[in-house]
Amino acid sequence: MQIDFLQEARRQAEVCNACRYCEGYCAVFPALQAERAFSDGDLTQLANLCHNCRGCYYACQYTAPHEFDLNLPQALADVRQDSWEEFAFPQAMGKAFQKNGLAIVAATVLGFALLFWAARALASAGGEGFYAVLSHNAMVAIFLPAFLFPLLSIAIGLRRYWQTVGGAPVRLAHLRHAFASAANMRNLKGGHGDGCNFEDEDRFTHARRLAHQAVMYGFLLCFASTSTATLMHYLLNMPAPYGLFSVPKLLGLSGGLLLVLGCAEMIRLKLRADKGLGATNAFGGEIAFVGLLGFVGLSGLVLYAAGGTGWMPGLLVIHLGSVLAFFLLTPFTKMAHGFYRLAALVRDAQRADG
């Protein structure tokens, strides 16, 4: 991890610990105030516990032009971003994505779409719907490794994180606390429950929290759709295609809509917000990730709408290319932040237990 990021975060954390004006703003400050000195692991934990709502910056009396020049949201964002790159497996991919995120996303989606188009020769004879373009066995052979690789990569990253922050054995109560906090985005509600002022110093809203919830629950609904379809195929002998009012379709359509709406709102908020309060070099990579996730949802909805037309084969390979790119790039994009932030919430629950 870059020493200058850690040193600057340490300097600012020490000033904040002496001031304590922002006590109660979010989970960061009780954790910060529990320390007297900050190790690299402490700062990594604080950085991943921070949700970058920016309320502390706008409330701070020691921001520039004060000589203390505090910008805690950016200092923690830099440490957080650097920690994700350091913990990533393989590490080089994490650094490469942050530098060239848009180009990597575009090239990966296009490349995989072309490969799927070439793989149409593997389609099963007489298949229905999407299977007339690419066989079920071919899809499984491609997507199963692509699903397992990011799980392995993220597991390695989380193990490195847990060792760095000094995590203890996890109890069920810690998990309950962490999942409850993540489910309602508690740390995006602001210190007084009025929301955060992420996009405007004087305007408190719940827009960012709601956008995050739309993306999170949209993704979970899409995942539930795929999981349900898999169970129906293998356990109930009910292969696709499925009707509009089937469980996989209802879950997938609602999840896709939430993904598109949530990602569009997150991009809008990011474009309106002050870039100087986020990670120094991460803006392009963040936009690339949110754009890719939103495109996965949008291409799925368009594919469903055009399912009975001649556009279907071309739209299918584009959608499959975007899904495959999303899975393979997950450990190196901001998608990984959900796993690290959940781990940080678990570690914070352990701290609160004493």
User: CB-hemisphere CA count at 13 Å for 151?
Assistant: 6
Nearest to 294 by CA among 89, 105, 46: 105
Pairwise CA distance, residues 206 & 105, whole Å: 29
Domain boundary pick from 83, 110, 135:
83
Pairwise CA distance, residues 54 & 108, whole Å: 33
Output the pTM of the full model.
0.88
- 278 and 235 share one domain: yes
Read off the amino acid at residue 54. Answer: R
- 78 and 101 share one domain: no
Domain boundary pick from 83, 108, 124:
83
For residue 244, the tally of other CB atoms under 10 A from its CB is 8
Q: What is the mean pLDDT of the chain?
A: 89
- 17 and 95 share one domain: no
Q: Give Rg (Cα) of the chain.
A: 22
Which of 5-19, 116-130, 165-179, 257-271 shows the lowest mean pLDDT across its residues?
Answer: 116-130
Domain boundary pick from 83, 114, 129:
83
Q: What is the DSSP secondary-structure string of 97-147?
A: HHHHHHHHHHHHHHHHHHHHHHGGGGPPTT--GGGGTS-HHHHHHHHHHHH
- 58 and 138 share one domain: no
Pairwise CA distance, residues 147 & 328, whole Å: 8
- 74 and 93 share one domain: no
Which residue range forms the structural domain that includes residue 249?
Answer: 89-353
- Under DSSP, the state recorded for 196 is B
Pairwise CA distance, residues 258 & 253, whole Å: 9
pLDDT for residue 312: 87
**In the predicted structure, residue 202 carries a pLDDT above the cut 80:** no
- 290 and 273 share one domain: yes
- 346 and 315 share one domain: yes
- 242 and 96 share one domain: yes
Q: What is the pLDDT of residues 51-76, one digit of tens each?
A: 998 889 998 999 999 999 999 999 99
Using alpha carbons only, what angle is made at residue 13 by residues 199 and 183, rounded to the nearest 5 degrees?
50
Number of domains comprising the chain: 2
**In the predicted structure, residue 98 carries a pLDDT above the cut 80:** no
